[in-house]
Chain A
Amino acid sequence: MTRSVTRTLTQRRVLALILLLLLVAVFPYLYTWPFFGAFLNPFRTFQATRFGLWLIILLGLQLLTGYSGQISLGHAALVAVGAYVAAVLMNDGFMGQDVPVAVAVLAAGLFTAALAFLLGAPALRLSGPYLAIATLALIIALPQMLKLESFSFAGQEIHANIARWTGGVEGLLLDRPRAPGSLEGMVTERQWLYYEVMVPAVIMTFMAWNITRSRIGRAFVAIRDTEVGAEQMGVNLALYKMTAFGLSGLYAGVGGGLFAYTEAFMSPDSFEVVKSITMLVAVVLGGMASIIGTVFGALFMAFQNEMVDAFSGLIPSVGFLEGYLPTTESDFQRLRGAFYSIPLIIFIIFAPGGVAGLIRQVGGAAPTWWQAGRLRVTGLAALAGQVRARWRAGPDRTDPVDQPQDSDEEKQA
């Protein structure tokens, strides 16, 4: 499963990336155009917003579990922290001042990052299944903690009114987000929400992508593959593990803050066990240690209800099995867990690389003309350089100016 950390960027990929960014930028307005109106609508914009939200949250888990190998079943706990920090800041303000959304979300991210960094310290002593147990216990206990009002100890009533911040069992209702007045009439509420989520999502995706190809990312992978070996090579285990936790906390906090902002309602049960496990499932299904895989994972999270609904017509009702087969839509919604855990187990056994791994395998068998334009680059600067080189080369030159011959071998490595 070990893979080289450096990726290759082909010119086609650069072009595809630019087109993709353009698509992301105009997506919420596409449905007003004649052709796209047939299959896009404002609700799709909202779903795309959800996708961006999940992308941010899952990237944090990907960095922690996929790259660093620290199994966390309690990622939703970090999301909850970010969500509540942002919600409290947006609702009550800070020291009598109103807090702008961006500041609240950023503060939620930084606070959660700091908390997760510190939580990483005890986690240093836990490895593999032990960490999984501890984080599972955390997420099962979390709703209780969030609903806590007071407890007694040694006959004394102790007030620890966490429910005051979290709204307790009833949950917390936030104001619906609105576009600033100067943009009145230009964007609808849903479109504004989309940009508020997509801009950080795109930035943080590139950030994660660059982290994984940097010194930090290589240290993460080294720790995952062999902890002792990494230590021998001079990787500071404590620092990098805590960094992994801190980074995942940053993503979870920003994601949680945006969650509070977009959903406008949450309760301690928004962050329950099955949802937390589903996050890990999504990362694994999409593809471990892969940013593209995380994108697939986020798609899965955003569209899982629709996918399950799409399957619901497929099983015919057989007379003598009446009542023993799932046929209605509500049957399928209840069976949702089974519908993704069975593919999950099949994936783990036959294709541990997830969807991204499958695509990579298929890509390895791609025709040579597809592999021809590969260029090795590191970082965004090189991306810009490539675009420029491509531009200068003019339309009649299909091959780039400087193309290393050994790039194909590198792909095999």
Chain B
Amino acid sequence: MGEFIQTVATGLSMGSVYAIIAVAIVLIYRSTGVMNFAQGEMAMFGTFIAWSMISYFSAWSLPLDMNYWLPFFLAVLIAGLMGAAVERIVLRPVEEAPVLSSVIVTLGLFTMFNSIAVWRYGGIAKPFPSPSVFEGSALSVGPVVISRLNIGVFAVSLLVMLILYVFLNYTKVGLAMRAAAQNRAACRMVGVPAGRMLTMGWALSAAVGAVAGMLVAPIVFLSPNMMFAALMFAFAGAVLGGLQSLPGAIVGGLLLGVIQNAAGTYIGSEIDVTVAFVVIVLVLLVRPAGLLGHRVVRRV
């Protein structure tokens, strides 16, 4: 039993990262119908930008651990701008094109970011620092021993989700973004700049992705391929929760983290991505709408 609780606790920590990546994917998918395959690679690239800034900043000693947090927020900002630019330049032209076009474009972005990262930073995995608050000895609560890093990752992800929730539900811009996702034409009629809202959606999701990348990097080490598995788990989580639903993405992501950890404990860690694949296929076969999604009826 103790082992099981331990597994769930560690799983929830990784799951919270998958959850925010899944949220980023769903955010874009439900507003534009574009499945962003480059989500993970954009996050990886943002993390590399943070890494080079951290190694630059480490020369100075700043108070309050700003050697870490300043690059962190700068990287989030840069990633957001990158996301907005990607939407404007690359995705706007294929907005009305068939699904295949947008899939190919995001795959193109996938290989582009991957190869630029390989060229600039090399393929060898590097250690990525975590803020000093997250370091130190592990905490033990009852039978569960959990590292400070895991708790920190969970806390930051929770904070990101909370900020997103408040932003989307209690601000005017958030309302406009939700409206643009639902009905673009009606939005334009009442004066909401729908196009700008889509750009903002991409910026937001790229920024969230960068946070996820920086949370994952200390655990899996920083390398151009580090987000492959995380992206697959996030996809599986999004599919499990229902690709249209933000709460679904969170629940799905958390569940996937637990499933991955349980599979690692009880089956073997060398087949973890296979588990994600099995989950995706099973969900799509048994309940394509996901746990919290609803069936989409298409008009012909």
Q: How large is the interface on A (under 10, 10 to 19, 20 to 34, 35 or more residues)?
A: 35 or more
Q: Is the CB of A141 within 8 A of B277?
A: yes
Distance of A331 Cα from B118 Cα, bound (Å): 9
Q: Is the CB of A349 within 8 A of B267?
A: no
CB-contact partner of B277 in A129, A137, A155, under 8 A:
A137
Q: Is the CB of B108 within 8 A of A141?
A: no
For the residues of B in contact with A, the DSSP-based class is: helix
Name the residue on B nearest A153 (C-beta).
B267
Distance of A140 Cα from B37 Cα, bound (Å): 13
CB-contact partner of A341 in B35, B93, B109, B267, under 8 A:
B109
Q: Is the CB of B99 within 8 A of A71?
A: yes
Distance of A292 Cα from B116 Cα, bound (Å): 31
Name the residue on A nearest B268 (C-beta).
A151
Q: Is the CB of B270 within 8 A of A144?
A: yes
For the residues of A in contact with B, the DSSP-based class is: helix
A335 to chain B, nearest CB (A): 5
Please name all residues of chain B whose beta carbon is closer than 8 Å to the beta carbon of A136 when the two chains form the complex. Answer: 37, 232, 235
B1 at interface, CB cutoff 8 A: no
Q: Is the CB of B280 within 8 A of A137?
A: yes
B233 to chain A, nearest CB (A): 10
What string of 1s and 0s marks CB contacts (under 8 Å) between A151-166 and chain B?
1111100000000000
A333 to chain B, nearest CB (A): 9
A356 to chain B, nearest CB (A): 16
Q: Is the CB of A144 within 8 A of B114?
A: no
Distance of A349 Cα from B89 Cα, bound (Å): 10
Please name all residues of chain B whose beta carbon is closer than 8 Å to the beta carbon of A278 when the two chains form the complex. Answer: 111
Distance of A153 Cα from B93 Cα, bound (Å): 49
Q: Is the CB of B284 within 8 A of A132?
A: no
Q: Which parts of B190-238 form the interface with A (CB within 8 Å)? A: 228-229, 232, 235-236
What string of 1s and 0s marks CB contacts (under 8 Å) between A95-128 and chain B?
0000000000000000000000000001001101
Q: Is the CB of A134 within 8 A of B114?
A: no
Contacts A336-B115, A338-B116, A352-B101 given; does A134 touch B268 at CB 8 Å: no
Q: How many residues of B contact A (CB 8 A)?
A: 47
Please name all residues of chain A whose beta carbon is closer than 8 Å to the beta carbon of B285 when the two chains form the complex. Answer: 122, 125
Distance of A349 Cα from B108 Cα, bound (Å): 12
B103 at interface, CB cutoff 8 A: yes
Contacts A69-B100, A126-B284 given; does A154 touch B112 at CB 8 Å: no
Name the residue on B nearest A130 (C-beta).
B284
B176 at interface, CB cutoff 8 A: no
Distance of A336 Cα from B123 Cα, bound (Å): 14
B140 to chain A, nearest CB (A): 25
A255 to chain B, nearest CB (A): 21
B119 at interface, CB cutoff 8 A: yes
Please name all residues of chain A whose beta carbon is closer than 8 Å to the beta carbon of B232 when the two chains form the complex. Answer: 136-137, 140-141
- Which of A73, A144, A229 lies at the interface centre, i.e. has the most chain B CB atoms within 10 A of its CB? A144
A387 at interface, CB cutoff 8 A: no
Please name all residues of chain B whose beta carbon is closer than 8 Å to the beta carbon of A342 when the two chains form the complex. Answer: 108, 112
Please name all residues of chain A whose beta carbon is closer than 8 Å to the beta carbon of B101 when the two chains form the complex. Answer: 348, 352
Q: Is the CB of A122 within 8 A of B271?
A: no
B174 at interface, CB cutoff 8 A: no
Q: Is the CB of B284 within 8 A of A335?
A: no
A240 to chain B, nearest CB (A): 18
Q: Is the CB of A334 within 8 A of B118?
A: yes
A284 at interface, CB cutoff 8 A: yes
| Extra contacts besides A129-B29, A348-B97 (18): CB < 8 Å | A1-B98, A69-B100, A128-B99, A128-B103, A130-B284, A136-B37, A137-B232, A138-B277, A140-B273, A144-B270, A144-B271, A144-B272, A148-B271, A152-B268, A228-B300, A280-B107, A345-B105, A345-B108
Give the A-binding residues of B (Cβ under 8 A).
29, 35, 37, 90, 93-94, 97-101, 103-105, 107-112, 114-116, 118-119, 228-229, 232, 235-236, 239, 266-268, 270-274, 276-277, 280-281, 284-285, 288, 300
List 9 contacting pairs A-B, 8 Å CB cutoff, sorted by A. A134-B280, A136-B37, A137-B277, A137-B280, A138-B277, A280-B107, A341-B110, A342-B108, A348-B101
Nearest 7 CB-CB pairs, A to B?
A337-B115, A337-B111, A129-B35, A341-B108, A137-B277, A151-B268, A341-B112
